[in-house]
Amino acid sequence: MAEHHHHRHGEPESEMTLRVRAIEQLLAEKGLVDPTAIDRLVELYETRVGPHNGARVVARAWTDPPFRDRLLENGTDAIAELGISGLQGENMVVVENTPQVHNIVVCTLCSCYPWPVLGLPPVWYKSPPYRSRIVREPRAVLAEFGVDVPAEQEVRVWDSSAEIRYMVLPQRPGESAGLGEEDLAAMVTRDGMIGTAAV
Amino acid sequence: MDGIHDMGGMHGFGAVEREADEPVFHADWEGRALGLLLQAADGMGFVDDHLRSRIERTPPADYLRLSYYQLWIRALETLMVERGVASAAEIAERVAATSEGGRAPGGSDVTLDAVEAMVAGGASTKRPEVEIAPGYAVGDRVRVRNDHPFHHTRAPRYTRGRLGEVVIDHGVFVFPDTNSEEQGEAPRHCYAVRFSARELWGAEASPHDSLCVDFWEPYLEKA
């Protein structure tokens, strides 16, 4: 398991381990949770649900214009065409970056994030600095992430304050001509689909 | 509730710190915590509205001190007590009696594929079967009501009283203000509203930039 030094701590790790184990025992005894299902859920989010899913969606949109149109018209249905759906992605809206508009996604109130396409959110996405600043000074935060948005290009921040989950469709890089869907998917990053990276 | 959770636009939190090659979970207990939340929701009868409202009642200093998974566990404990699953004393006793290495009793032979199929079904709070005429249409100018309820609500403080334009009608969704307080789903239309950055932050903001925020209809009034 990784070192914990980047993690904010309210209580020592071992105390949380014991606390969560105690709660799991109580809930299991009452038949409210199945410990084996928890094992499988952990495995699911560590191996199957992650940004590689969103990258497939982006690569398809870049290579299949009718799919791109369906994706922007009804994100949930178009994403489901690739077999991707589920918790925290039941109602998806995909927003497209263009030379005119750069989109970014945040949840200022909590940690809403499109799990089926991006997996579980990184700690920084849930952190007070990102949640407070990205709506107030998006260009400064983007610069810290290494993204330079021209002054005339609109920065459009989507605050996921309801039950819609947003994903950014990045612009296809100029140097990607001729690449197939799989190679294109490999170019797409998690941050590109949050809007904190160019691709 | 005007709590610390509603932090859009606040100053002073410093730089966004990113972790290279961040793992999905930073400790085993975080994965267990996620699994507990997802598993217990059905049996205990709670949804995200309930969880969020309990998280938001965390005293501000504690909210900032705790990690997000710690906030989740704290809210789960609150819901366990509220719903009569276990008393606070029972939870404390069990924590004190728990040692490293133990595993919760029981378990099944559920497979990864079965769990994946369950998760893939989701738990949508959209209520397309509820027919309500929308109060607003795309293109309408709206103002966010200057309401400051003590209960859970989802209109960020930085938008209140501000003027925007409806850009999407998302359809009809469970209303968190009533649902979180056990007063029913009361579904309402939900809209994306676009604001100019200057409307929200004044003349220092870029004249080109904008923000889109989602609102249930009761949060809005005609401009």
Average model confidence (pLDDT) across chain B: 96
Residue A86 has its nearest CB partner, among B91, B103, B120, at B120
Tens digits of per-residue pLDDT, A81-105? 999 999 999 999 999 999 999 999 9
Tens digits of per-residue pLDDT, A153-187? 999 999 999 999 999 999 999 988 899 999 999 99
Amino acid making up residue B23:
P
Question: What percentage of chain B carries pLDDT values higher than 90?
Answer: 94
Task: Flag whether B86 is in a domain.
Answer: yes
Closest CA to A158 of A140, A137, A134: A134
The CATH number of the domain where B168 resides is what? 2.30.30.50
Question: Is there a single domain that holds both residue B217 and residue B167?
Answer: yes
Q: Band of the pLDDT at B104, cuts 50, 70, 90?
A: confident
Task: Flag whether B4 is in a domain.
Answer: no
Tens digits of per-residue pLDDT, B8-46? 999 999 999 999 999 999 999 999 999 999 999 989 999
Question: Is there a single domain that holds both residue B35 and residue B114?
Answer: yes
Residue B223 has pLDDT above 70, yes or no: yes
* DSSP, res A175: G
Question: Is there a single domain that holds both residue B73 and residue B149?
Answer: no
With an 8 Å Cβ cutoff, are B32 and A24 in contact?
yes
Instruction: Specify burial of residue B86 (Cβ count, 10 A radius: 0-12, 13-18, 19+).
Output: buried
pLDDT given for residue A12 in this prediction:
67
Question: Is there a single domain that holds both residue B113 and residue B145?
Answer: no
- Is the domain covering A50-194 a CATH 2.40.30.170 domain? no
How many domains in chain B?
2
Rg (CA), chain A: 19
Q: What is the value of ipTM here, to two decimals?
A: 0.97
Question: Is there a single domain that holds both residue B33 and residue B116?
Answer: yes
Closest B-chain CA to A161: B214
Task: Flag whether B212 is in a domain.
Answer: yes
Question: Is there a single domain that holds both residue B111 and residue B59?
Answer: yes
A131 and chain B in contact, CB less than 8 A: yes
Q: CB neighbours of B16 closer than 8 A, spacing ≥ 6?
A: A124, A127, A129, A130, A133, A141, A144, A145
Whole-model pTM: value is 0.96
Q: Where in chain A is the domain with CATH 3.90.330.10?
A: 50-194
Alpha carbon of A64: minimum distance to chain B alpha carbons (Å):
25
B101 and chain A in contact, CB less than 8 A: no
Q: Band of the pLDDT at A11, cuts 50, 70, 90?
A: low
Residue range(s) defining the domain that contains residue B165: 141-222
Q: Band of the pLDDT at A3, cuts 50, 70, 90?
A: very low
Q: Band of the pLDDT at A9, cuts 50, 70, 90?
A: low
What's the mean pLDDT in B167-180? 98
Tens digits of per-residue pLDDT, B111-138? 999 999 999 999 999 999 999 999 999 9
With an 8 Å Cβ cutoff, are B115 and A138 in contact?
no
Residues of A in contact with B208 (CB under 8 A): 151-155
Question: Is there a single domain that holds both residue B111 and residue B34?
Answer: yes
With an 8 Å Cβ cutoff, are A39 and B35 in contact?
yes
Alpha carbon of A94: minimum distance to chain B alpha carbons (Å):
12
Residue A6 has pLDDT above 70, yes or no: no
List alpha helices for chain A, DSSP H.
13-29, 35-43, 51-63, 65-73, 75-80, 115-118, 123-126, 128-133, 138-144, 181-187, 190-194
Residue A1 has pLDDT above 60, yes or no: no
Q: CB neighbours of A4 closer than 8 A, spacing ≥ 6?
A: A13, B26, B27
A127 is catalytic: no
Q: Band of the pLDDT at B107, cuts 50, 70, 90?
A: confident
Question: Is there a single domain that holds both residue B64 and residue B112?
Answer: yes
As a whole number of angstroms, the distance between CA A24 and CA A43 comes to 17
Question: What percentage of chain A carries pLDDT values higher than 90?
Answer: 90
